[in-house]
Amino acid sequence: MRKPIIAGNWKMNKTASEAVSLINELKPLVADADADVVVCPPAADLAAAAQALKGSNIGLGAQNLDYHDSGAFTGEVSADMLLDLGVQYVIIGHSERREYYAETDETVNLKVKKALEKGLIPIVCVGEKLEERESGVTAEVVRKQTKLALLGLAESEVAKVVIAYEPIWAIGTGKTATADDANDTIKEIRAAIREVFGGAADEVRIQYGGSMNPKNASELMAMSDIDGGLIGGASLKAEDFSKVVNY
Ligand SMILES: O=C(CO)COP(=O)(O)O
């Protein structure tokens, strides 16, 4: 059985002191969660967040990393820097990074490889644009993104990866994919993984993301292939996020 994993992607929200307050509010609300719980604050908050999370059941994730080990890469953060802060997970290839920061399938793959090499668990985002959905190419788009993100990995590495299926038209819009639609696309992602990596596909946890909230979480989480959620807006309030976690 795949253990559910619910992660909050705070995006560029919350100062370090606000992060500490949110975490302190969240801790008792999710202490009995059956799922793995993760928060992904902005890079500038990670040190304070790690301190606040000590002794809790909540994991810490970053929202990005650089694929180089160190050097002249102004503004970037390396895997070693994240690990040294106590970070365990890293979101890679979020659609906002693909759209605004020129992230490509190739850089996503390099980042996934670096994360795994260093012992961070990648949360790899894939998802189609509205026009791709309307053109009926959703399955092709997510299959290709998934295979390219995982290119060259060993089966044992793939089994550790978390994939977040985030239809771009559902992010921050209040529009959610129906639970059936999301499950069907996630099955396509799992099938694509199986084509290349065999049985590892059954171990990969695949989240849904895109306007997931306390109202729709239980329906989405009841689906056969949805193993968790990557939550944006609803992760910024302790009460809402805890309701998703305790779906
Ligand atoms: O992009 C998302 C999480 O990575 C989803 O954001 P929302 O939950 O705000 O739609």
Residue 166 annotated in active site: yes
**Is the shortest distance between the CB of 112 and ligand 1 below 6 Å?**
no
Atom of ligand 1 nearest to the CA of 91: 4
* pLDDT band per the 50, 70, 90 thresholds, residue 82: very high
What 3-state class would DSSP assign to 56?
coil
- The per-residue pLDDT for 231 is 98
* pLDDT band per the 50, 70, 90 thresholds, residue 20: very high
Residue 30 has pLDDT above 90, yes or no: yes
CB 60 within 8 Å of CB 50: yes
Q: What is the mean pLDDT of residues 106-115?
A: 98
Mutate to test the pocket of ligand 1, among 39, 216, 231 (most ligand atoms within 8 A of CB): 231
Reading the block at residue 23, the tokens are: 């975490």
Atom of ligand 1 nearest to the CA of 94: 4
| ipTM reported for the complex, 2 dp | 0.99
Number of domains in the chain: 1
CA 2 / ligand 1 centre spacing (Å): 22
Percent of the chain, pLDDT > 70?
A: 100
Question: pLDDT digits over 168-188, tens only?
Answer: 999 999 888 899 999 999 999
Residue 94 annotated in active site: yes
Q: The domain that contains 232 carries what CATH number? A: 3.20.20.70
Q: What is the mean pLDDT of residues 82-103?
A: 98
What single DSSP character describes residue 76? -
Parent domain of 66? 5-245
For the chain, give percent helix, strand, coil, nearest 5: 45, 15, 35
Pairing state between β 121-126 and 205-209: unpaired
**Is the shortest distance between the CB of 211 and ligand 1 below 6 Å?**
yes
- The per-residue pLDDT for 174 is 87
Q: What is the mean pLDDT of residues 136-164?
A: 98
**Is the shortest distance between the CB of 228 and ligand 1 below 6 Å?**
no
The count of other CB atoms within 10 Å of the CB of residue 76 is 15
Q: What is the mean pLDDT of residues 110-135?
A: 97
Q: What is the mean pLDDT of residues 197-215?
A: 97
